[in-house]
Amino acid sequence: MSIRRIQASARFCEVSVHNGVAYFAGQVPETTVAQNAYAQTKEVLELIDNLLAEIGSHKSRILNAQIFLANMQDYAELNQAWDEWVDRANPPSRATVEAKLADPRWKVEIVISAAV
């Protein structure tokens, strides 16, 4: 069964799609790196929305989310942006842990998989 790869560079792709499931790269802030965790999370979720649209899926079809926070003290800000965004009738499973991220300005990184 074939694999579709979205926005592939030589190092990684943003999404792999195989057998009706999409496996996302860790999404991180791009334009909001100087802002707080709420703003960064909002941007990351918009990036996810855009990628979901590109593969013909939607946030109501997300299966799970692995969230990495650079500082667990940002948990409330993460949840504020998440709760404003998530499809409340179709929320994914979720896990959130603290981990230092590749760029010290990043406060949040989110990895999802979704049904396509």
Please report, as ranges, the residues that interact with a second copy according to CB under 8 A: 1, 3, 5, 8-16, 18-21, 23-26, 61-66, 68, 72, 75, 79, 82-83, 86, 88, 90-102, 109, 111, 113, 115
- Taking the C-alpha atoms of residue 22 and residue 31, their distance in angstroms, rounded to an integer, is 25
**Which structure tokens are listed for 59?**
């946030």
CB atoms within 10 A of CB 31: 11
The closest of 101, 115, 81, 85 to 26, measured between CA atoms, is: 101
The residue whose two tokens read 């941007």 is 43
d(CA 88, CA 103): 31
Q: Maximum CA pair distance of the chain?
A: 43
